[in-house]
Amino acid sequence: MKINTTARIIYNKQVSNEYWNMKIYLPQIAKQASPGQFLTIQTSKTGSPLLRRPMSIHKLTSTSIEILYKVRGRGTNLLMQVKKGEELQVLGPLGHGFDTDIPFTTAILTGGGYGIAPLKALHDLLKKKKKNIITIVGARTAKLIYKEGFTGVRVSTEDGTAGIKGLLTKALEKACCSNLKGPAAIFACGPDKMLQAVAGVAAKYGLPCQVSLEKMMGCGIGVCLSCACRLEKGGLARVCVDGPVFDAKEIKWNN
Amino acid sequence: MEQLKVKIGKLILENPVLTASGTFGTGEEFEDFLDLDKLGAVVVKGITLKPRDGNPLPRIAETPSGMLNAIGLQNPGVDIFIKEKCPVFLKYKVPFIVNISGYEEKEYGLLAKKLETVAGVAGIEVNVSCPNVNYRHGMIFAKDPLAVSRITRLVRKNTKKTVIIKLSPEVSDIKVIARAAEEAGADALSLINTISGLAVDVETRRPKIASIIGGLSGPAVKPIGLRCVWQVYNTVKIPIIGMGGICTYEDALEYLIAGAAAVAVGTGNFLDPQSTVKIVDGLKKYFILNKIKNVAQLTGSLRLFNN
Ligand SMILES: Cc1cc2nc3c(=O)[nH]c(=O)nc-3n(C[C@H](O)[C@H](O)[C@H](O)COP(=O)(O)OP(=O)(O)OC[C@H]3O[C@@H](n4cnc5c(N)ncnc54)[C@H](O)[C@@H]3O)c2cc1C
Ligand SMILES: Cc1cc2nc3c(=O)[nH]c(=O)nc-3n(C[C@H](O)[C@H](O)[C@H](O)COP(=O)(O)O)c2cc1C
Ligand code: FES
């Protein structure tokens, strides 16, 4: 059940060059949430900006949810200023998360930019499920890499200042070619272009692949139809309720 | 609460708070947040004769105190809508009003005819004013009093259900359009639909929505909605459903005082999915505190300066 609630901030701190991390006391939402789902957060009480901001669930405990966010525009600038003990309007858990019941023993988590945000909650769940984990973290340059808490990390930077030089799919291909323990599955989140490339690699190696998409969202609950996404089988899905996580094969990429 | 009951056409609504088309799905989406039967009526997402994929993305952009949208009437078409969505309406006591759009005038008649026999559909809201579709003659029907009159007659001829005509504020004189709809047999009027606008991304120099122009909604349009309601209230006798930027019960009261018999919440549902029921509760308190006996006592009660 989706819940619209007022929630207290446990902490809100800068954790890297680019990212902020906010922990929110959300017992009712946390109880039902799963990795890959998201929240929408009201960043202003005065209606400016007007719309809520969608944020992935980054970490999950039984009573709290953490988000990891990049400060971009007005909404995230306001979010950054929220202090411990203050309250925010939060809606969640929204959307469909990752399906971890498919058969695999090795998970290749692939995150570009703040796309790593939802992969941490997934990582923690897969650890509990005793899966082998490879985490590929990609960014433009070394100082933008954030990999706190991940295991089996392989870094990829476009300028080669850390890890494998080039696009993240190069590191992904390397991982796919390596000696993987048992059947593998890819879980990816990042910009559309990256996800499309990841889906290509997955198809090449015949690996199941789930991608978490991002679209502008007006409502987050399936009514405004601003987040439509074309499907391979024809028709449109709503990223906010039918996703944000989809099987990569379902998505019609060139639209 | 008896004092909040209002009559729109043949419908007696429990209270004057409705949902605005396109912002509430078919209502099911809000079941986790509220009891639909606590609303005056549910106005569902606009439907067309044929299925429509809608416009390319991005379809929305945020603007100061508002948002632009160019969804482009994405919908499964009336036949699938009737088969898959309408049966659900029967689960509730609240009346469901179906919003229809056409590309040619005759489509409105066909849509009304198809919906006439569908149980669970209490009324029809006729969208002659959606700015996001390319009408055949390059102009939205809502700007032409003769077209509005013909469409209203056509719908009226094909249905005994309550007929509400939804008007655009983007006309040279909304009073003329409102009168045309009233004379052609409309039971009520909804106003306002969104107002066309543009937003530009200065980094990319692209419009913020793919179809360039979109419809503005939200608090930014409230004064325009109120102005239209006031003008139309002083022109027609049929009830007006006022909308545009309603987020709180005070916003709703402004509309009632300006001349609305009922109100609808649109963009407000995105900001707080419970805003409709919060508005109903706010109105209840206001009515008790101010000893208001019925909505009619407020409708058009704007006190003018007499200096
Ligand atoms: C399902 C989902 C999960 C997300 N998870 C995260 C996350 O975990 N961490 C994170 O940092 N970011 C995440 N985002 C993106 C985040 O919502 C935007 O960065 C944020 O809304 C920007 O707000 P702003 O006011 O700071 O920037 P703005 O000035 O409003 O915009 C900056 C950029 O953000 C995009 N944006 C603005 N509003 C939205 C919106 N409502 N939906 C999608 N994109 C938007 C704009 O297109 C623009 O390119 C997620 C988005 C979605 C759809
Ligand atoms: C995303 C969105 C979709 C809409 N779709 C429709 C529609 O299908 N038919 C219609 O008559 N009006 C539609 N509208 C207009 C609203 O019903 C309403 O008239 C307008 O948004 C003004 O009210 P508001 O400021 O409360 O949103 C839509 C508005 C929005 C924001
Ligand atoms: S954000 Fe409104 S339908 Fe997905």
ipTM of predicted complex: 0.94
Asked if B45 and A221 come within 8 Å (Cβ–Cβ), the reply is no
pLDDT reported for residue A134: 94
So where are chain A's domains?
Answer: 3-94, 106-250
The string of pLDDT tens digits covering residues B164-189 is 999 999 999 999 999 999 999 999 99
pLDDT reported for residue A84: 96
Query: Distance, CA A242 to ligand 3 centroid (Å)?
Result: 10
- The nearest CA of chain B is from the CA of A41 a distance in Å of 10
Asked if B59 and A228 come within 8 Å (Cβ–Cβ), the reply is yes
Query: Distance, CA B59 to ligand 1 centroid (Å)?
Result: 15
Of B22, B56, B219, nearest to A47 by CB-CB distance is B219
- Chain A hits for B54, CB-CB cut-off 8 Å, are 225, 228, 236
pLDDT reported for residue B133: 55
**What is the spatial distance between Cα A190 and Cα A114, in angstroms, rounded to a whole number?**
7
The string of pLDDT tens digits covering residues B203-243 is 999 999 999 999 999 999 999 999 999 999 999 999 999 99
- Segments in chain B below pLDDT 70: 130-139, 307
pLDDT reported for residue B139: 66
pLDDT reported for residue A181: 80
- Chain A hits for B32, CB-CB cut-off 8 Å, are 1-3
The strand pair at A64-70 and A19-25 is best described as antiparallel
Residues of B with CB under 8 A from a CB of A: 22-25, 29-30, 32-33, 45, 53-54, 56-62, 64-67, 69, 71, 74, 218-219, 247, 267, 269-274
Active-site residue, B130 included: yes
CATH number 2.40.30.10 is the correct assignment for the domain at A3-94: yes
- Segments in chain A below pLDDT 70: 255
- Cβ of residue B130 lying under 6 Å from some atom of ligand 2: yes
Top CATH class of A106-250 equals alpha beta
The CATH architecture to which B2-55+73-195+218-298 belongs is Alpha-Beta Barrel (3.20)
What is the pTM for the complete model shown? 0.95
Give me the total of CB pairs closer than 8 Å, taking one residue from chain A and one from chain B. 89
- Chain A hits for B278, CB-CB cut-off 8 Å, are none
Of A32, A219, A236, A251, which to mutate for an interface test with B (greatest number of B Cβ within 10 Å)? A219
Q: Do B218 and A50 contact (CB within 8 A), yes or no?
A: yes
So where are chain B's domains?
Answer: 2-55+73-195+218-298
Of B248, B270, B276, which to mutate for an interface test with A (greatest number of A Cβ within 10 Å)? B270
Q: Do B125 and B100 contact (CB within 8 A), yes or no?
A: yes
